[in-house]
Structure 1
Amino acid sequence: MILDFYDGNLDGDSWEDLCQSCYRIKYQEQHYTEIPAVHGGDAGIEGFTKNGIVNQCYFPERNYTDDELHKHLRDKMTKDIGKLLENKEEYAKLGVPVIHEWHFIIPMYKDSRIIKHAETKRKEVLRAKKDNPKQYDYIADDFNIVIKVADDFKFEITKTIRESLTDTKLNVAVRQVKETDWEKCDSEKVENIKRKVKTVMNDVSEEDEYYKEAIDTYIKSYIKGLEIMRILRTSYAAIYEDVYGLEQAYKTQVSLKTGMNMDKSMNSKIFNDILDDFERKLSETCQYFNAASILELKIDIISMWLADCTLKFRK
């Protein structure tokens, strides 16, 4: 099975995450919409497409016998089809279109009984619609229940695994760039960093311990930043373009914002605001980075701006 890739490390939550990932890939052109967990499970569906497919996933809690597995699959389907018939108003609020297919996504099934049960429930839904067409006008005349298993999503699961591995390697690469000493930093860059940090700290004494610590951090981060950008450029070209594009666009704003500030008493506040806002932009734009890598990238890129005088704070 395709799930052998996961070596037994799946549970209900991770199976749901995997299913959502698969549906986002497979039904991207149909604008698949995931229903947040606060709603999922309450309405019998966990997401929907604009062409009328809704889905619900289920993962067995343990290794059941064939009979036990069938009972759990049957009961889950019965329960959620029941919810399907009870949540017309909720679906309208969520923008769910007329429902043509209800997908039941499970890792696997071991006999045909669940297929027969699906057909029984399909007929039950259509019978309810026939008896009360106005109440069930959100159900299509060709409504069908489709059982989906892991092997139906070989391409999507493989793509998800590959991207997950890439993300892991990417974050490891960012976090494992080693610190280097100042000797590898151009003296002009060192002086730029010292001058800008001193300006941000309102002309603090060069003997101040916090100043010395900040200088040490920013110079090391500047060197690390150059190395990280080199790694991204050579090994993760598409990701490099995202980071570089954001850095360049934001760099222009930073230069204008700091250069136009005439009140040096505001330098520290503006600097901290830039730190917070840039971290937020990185998180939004580069979601493949984890929180630790975002913090690392933020300080490294800010250090590069200090070194090349993008941050134009006045004395």
Structure 2
Amino acid sequence: MSDIFFNFDGTKWEKFCEKMMRHHYTQPYFTSVPADDRGDCGLEFFTRDGSIFQCYFPDPQYSMAEYKKHVQKKIRTDIMKLKKYEPEIKKFLDDIVIKQWVLLLPENRTKDMISYCNTYKKKILLENVSYIHSADFTVKIETADSYPSSKSYALKYGDELINLPFKQIDESVLNNFKDSSFEKNITRKSKFISNKPENFANSMTGKYLKITNYLEDLRFNYPDTYQEIEECGRMLLGKMQDLIDIEGMSPDVRFITAVRDQNEKEITEIFSTIISKFNRSELSYGYIAKWIAECNMDFE
């Protein structure tokens, strides 16, 4: 599952899907069905082009067998509601003819769901539901990646702050990083900055690799915010350089502390309503690590 959904549950997923699909179809063509009044009859949203949508957020810890079992149950249960609640649904739809039933999942983990959807398409067609188009009707699974621009919109303007995990760095990544120009910069500069250069270098290496991964995840999932972060990062890196070149500060531990505080202040002012406090804190140190690793200046 994409890291952007790691802290979601069923309620958050449904709210996200509504914001995404409302943006995709636009207001005149999209209707959300309230579930609080005697249930939703097996549909969360429907559209003027003849699409019915249902949302489901499987437990991320499910094994493949558990995932299949629960998703299949969701498909067969909700598809058959189209017949069970036919009179009520027909009143919702008015004159709309339904051509597709879509289950929105955070990810589709197996191709077996395609054939399972086809099986239940045939079963519901045998029920001769009055509002279903007998020739063009399909049953399918879609994910947020099916609607890329609307996915980005829903992520950016959703109620949740961006809170991507800073992934742990495995041994193979560390081995590939060794003897790179970035690793050499960190090792050389750590001797000037800290009286425990080996510990400091190890810490900066971890933070540099983590922020590199984080920014790549941000670029993929939140491209607009990524561009803003990159602009902010260039500003922060320039300020770090100015503290040494212009203000004559010595690159020592006190310098690192001052820069961290400066970074936290700038990042909080710009991104407090967009990015979680945990992510902002990691970014503050992460940009120090980027500066140490990527700037080729020699400390004296």
TM-score normalised per structure 1: 0.47
Structure (1 or 2) with the larger CA radius of gyration? 1
TM-score normalised per structure 2: 0.49
